[in-house]
């Protein structure tokens, strides 16, 4: 079930080495803003990142002094993580614990001060059963006074991220292609890899109901990682800081 989920949402079609060089992903630079959020709102240093991918955020936080457990289901992404980790100093490597596990079924046997499900990770869970299971696992692993950072693009942003997409109003699932290109010295672009992704589009009220259903509540709500007030779903994302109700 877990591996098929990667196929269903499109992550199996991504080339990690190309994916993490995408201009939009490079420009996002979640590390500094997330570091400041943990500093301001976490009761401790124990951090859990779910859907960690190639490890850019987890490594940044470990370099900043946090003890980070990083979870992902994709073996390809974790292999990329390990390549990045190999270039880190020993102190940073010792602060990192990589775990290959399903975010809907993981059990680490401990709780964390700060949990991160960032960059639309929840959107790749395409049905209510998986969404509920993932949020339940977050609640179970969050310390009594801990906080969880959850970010997701709004439906408006998801639909404007690409000109080519299909959207099923009944299932709330958006499907779109991904094309990685190379540009030569003359400016000619060539497609070097193709993939696709499927995401579940959440309205804000629906997301909050999901959070409440597992005994959590929204503590803070912003429109971006720099904590701008949420005002416009056409230009901002959901950035939610969650705690036990």
Q: Report domain extents, the chain.
A: 2-156+203-244
b/e per residue 145-184 (b: at least 16 CB within 10 A): ebbbbbbbbbbebbbeeeeeeeeeeeebbbebebebeeee
pLDDT at 20: 64
Give the CATH class of 2-156+203-244.
alpha beta
pTM: 0.91
pLDDT of residue 167: 94
Q: What is the per-residue pLDDT across 179-191, written as a single tens digit (0 to 9) for each? A: 766 666 676 767 6
Q: What is the mean pLDDT of the chain?
A: 90
Confidence of residue 122 (pLDDT cuts 50, 70, 90): very high
The pLDDT, as a whole number, for residue 119 is 83
Angle, helices 128-141/204-212, rounded to nearest 10 degrees:
50
Query: Is the model's pLDDT at 25 over the cut of 60?
Result: no
Average pLDDT over residues 202-217: 96
pLDDT of 22 higher than 90: no
What's the rounded mean pLDDT across residues 158-175?
Answer: 90
What pLDDT shows up at residue 182? 64
């Amino acid at each position: 079930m877990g591996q098929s989920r990667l196929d269903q949402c499109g992550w199996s079609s991504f080339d990690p080495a190309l994916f993490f060089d995408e201009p939009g992903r490079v420009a996002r630079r979640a590390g500094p803003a997330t570091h400041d959020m943990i500093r301001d709102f976490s009761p401790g240093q124990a951090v859990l990142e779910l859907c960690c991918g190639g490890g850019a955020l987890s490594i940044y936080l470990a370099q900043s002094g946090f003890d980070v457990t990083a979870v992902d289901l994709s073996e390809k992404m974790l292999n990329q993580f390990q390549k990045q980790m190999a270039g880190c100093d020993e102190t940073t490597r010792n602060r990192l614990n990589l775990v290959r596990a399903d975010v809907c079924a993981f059990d680490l046997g401990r709780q964390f001060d700060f949990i991160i499900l960032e960059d639309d990770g929840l959107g790749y869970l395409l049905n209510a059963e998986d969404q509920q299971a993932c949020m339940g696992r977050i609640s179970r692993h969050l310390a009594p006074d801990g906080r969880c950072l959850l970010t997701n693009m709004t439906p408006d942003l998801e639909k404007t991220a690409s000109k080519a997409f299909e959207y099923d109003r009944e299932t709330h699932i958006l499907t779109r292609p991904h094309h990685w290109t190379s540009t030569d010295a003359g400016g000619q672009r060539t497609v070097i890899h193709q993939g696709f992704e499927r995401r579940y589009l959440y309205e804000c009220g629906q997301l909050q109901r999901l959070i409440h259903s597992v005994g959590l509540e929204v503590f803070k709500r912003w429109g971006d990682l720099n904590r701008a007030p949420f005002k416009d779903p056409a230009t901002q994302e959901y950035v939610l800081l969650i705690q036990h109700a």
